[in-house]
Amino acid sequence: MFAARRSINLFQKRAFSASASQASKVTVLGAGGGIGQPLSLLMKLNPRVTQLALYDIRGGPGVAADLSHINTNSTVTGYSPDEAGLADALKDAEIVLIPAGVPRKPGMTRDDLFNTNASIVRDLAKAAAKASPNANILVISNPVNSTVPIVSEVFKAAGVYNPKRLFGVTTLDVVRASRFISQVQKTDPNGEKVPVIGGHSGVTIVPLLSQSNHASLSGEARDALVNRIQFGGDEVVKAKDGAGSATLSMAMAGARFAESLLRAAQGEKGIIEPTFVDSPLFKDQGIDFFASRVELGPNGAEKIHEVGPINEYEQKLLDACLVDLKKNIEKGVAFVKANP
Ligand code: NAD
Ligand code: LMR
């Protein structure tokens, strides 16, 4: 009798978790933009996604109509700001990707975007705190070092903050690092894993070459490579010459991070991605957010890995990172306190 009941319960549990894990709604806020469109396309091509909700202040329904003709199983719905568009787009989302906001032009830093993007991200976060408080929130909008703390403050104020479900997407730095090192070393980028820690702008981007396959790189070759990884975004901004920043590589990076979260939510183990999260690593120095290797699981960020052994050169990079990062984080927090 007991055994029979137990097997029914196990069956029910499996059936429940299978259907729960197979229904994955992904929402993109800023879906009409340079990143939003290719990112939405990649999400439409992902068989783990069952529902795709595309919101933008302009163009959401058009992008959705276009993608909805692609013969994969997911449904695609476009939303605009009228009526309950944003709340409906967010409702029941498992993942909310946020690439809404303005990109850089040549000569600008990511921090120069703060004045415009802070309020965009704050307002979207307010909507998410109401309509999808349990979703994984993936922040792409720059400056990530400040926009992630903004989302956290908004969620705290709404009483729904779960630090395990908030991620600054720094995957592009990791993607660049493996590509750039492979170009120097003439290797296959797929086999190159370079942890990139810290934050997502200039000197706050800290690649740990000592933890890569090429720990012995030194001198000018190492310095040039580190500089290229830290300022890779500027290369694209310059090449696009006023037409924006990285969109296609960013879409790939955002889709990779979302896919990692979906795999982890569906029970796959050992999925580790560097990402900018609420982290204990430097809280004693007043730095509440930090990117390091994070193991993902059904509850979001399951385990935040330590920085690990680094050399003297990397320690100097890290010291410089922490100075800027602290200011960037404080700026985001102060913004929400002054402009709730
Ligand atoms: P874009 O201008 O092409 O697209 C932005 C989109 O956001 C537009 O369609 C716009 O209508 C929309 N938008 C603006 N305000 C909105 C709001 N309140 N609600 C919903 N949508 C809104 O810009 P892009 O090239 O796609 O870049 C978007 C952001 O991503 C920028 O801030 C850029 O700096 C950042 N970015 C981050 C990374 C990263 O690694 N994290 C990489 C590249 C770009
Ligand atoms: C990037 O790294 O490409 C993005 O953060 C966009 C930018 O402004 O450089």
Query: How many angstroms separate the CA atoms of 124 and 129, rounded?
Result: 9
Confidence of residue 287 (pLDDT cuts 50, 70, 90): very high
Confidence of residue 19 (pLDDT cuts 50, 70, 90): very low
Average pLDDT of the residues in 59-65: 97
Q: What is the pLDDT of residues 193-224, one digit of tens each?
A: 999 999 999 999 999 999 999 999 999 999 99
Nearest atom of ligand 1 to the alpha carbon of 171: 40
- List the structure tokens of 68: 């909805």
Query: How many angstroms separate the CA atoms of 214 and 211, rounded?
Result: 8
In this structure, which ligand is nearest to the CA of 144? 1
Query: Binding site annotation covers 141?
Result: yes
Q: What is the pLDDT of residues 116-130, one digit of tens each?
A: 999 999 999 999 999
Q: Please confirm, yes or no, whether 200 is among the known catalytic residues.
A: yes
Confidence of residue 22 (pLDDT cuts 50, 70, 90): low
**Measuring from each residue's beta carbon to the nearest atom of ligand 2, which residues come in under 6 Å?**
103-104, 110, 142, 172, 233, 236-237, 245-246
The pLDDT value recorded for residue 6 is 35
> CA angle, 301 as apex, 316 and 248 as ends, to 5°?
75
Query: Binding site annotation covers 328?
Result: no
Q: What is the pLDDT of residues 255-271, one digit of tens each?
A: 999 999 999 999 999 99
Amino acid of residue 293:
R
Nearest atom of ligand 2 to the alpha carbon of 142: 5
The pLDDT value recorded for residue 83 is 80
For the chain, first and last CA: distance in Å?
58
Average pLDDT of the residues in 275-293: 98
With a cut of 90, say whether residue 323 has pLDDT above it. yes
Q: Which of 108, 142, 174, 249 to mutate to test the pocket of ligand 2 (most atoms within 8 A of CB)?
A: 142
Report CA-CA distances (Å) from 82 to 30, 32, 59, 65, 319. 15, 16, 12, 18, 47
In this structure, which ligand is nearest to the CA of 86? 1
Amino acid of residue 275:
T
With a cut of 50, say whether residue 8 has pLDDT above it. no
Q: Which of 27, 29, 35, 201 to mutate to test the pocket of ligand 1 (most atoms within 8 A of CB)?
A: 35
Confidence of residue 1 (pLDDT cuts 50, 70, 90): very low
Ligand 1: residue whose CA is nearest its atom 31? 103
Here the ipTM equals: 0.99
With a cut of 80, say whether residue 106 has pLDDT above it. yes
Confidence of residue 339 (pLDDT cuts 50, 70, 90): very high
Query: How many angstroms separate the CA atoms of 76 and 82, rounded?
Result: 18
Q: What is the pLDDT of residues 170-201, one digit of tens each?
A: 999 999 999 999 999 999 999 999 999 999 99
At residue 40, what are phi and psi to the nearest 5 degrees?
-65, -40
Average pLDDT of the residues in 269-275: 97
The closest of 222, 173, 219 to 321, measured between CA atoms, is 173
With a cut of 60, say whether residue 228 has pLDDT above it. yes
Nearest atom of ligand 2 to the alpha carbon of 172: 2
- List the structure tokens of 148: 């992630």
Residue whose entry in the numeric block shows the structure tokens 């901004």: 237
**Measuring from each residue's beta carbon to the nearest atom of ligand 1, which residues come in under 6 Å?**
29-30, 32-36, 55-58, 99-104, 113, 117, 120, 124, 140-142, 144, 169, 172, 200, 244-247, 250
Q: What is the residue-wise DSSP string for 186-205?
A: T--GGG----EEE-SSGGGE
Mean pLDDT score of the chain, rounded to an integer?
Answer: 94
Q: Which of 108, 110, 204, 328 to mutate to test the pocket of ligand 2 (most atoms within 8 A of CB)?
A: 110
Report CA-CA distances (Å) from 81 to 46, 61, 78, 221, 270. 26, 11, 11, 49, 39
Average pLDDT of the residues in 152-172: 98
- List the structure tokens of 336: 């929400």
- List the structure tokens of 35: 């990143």
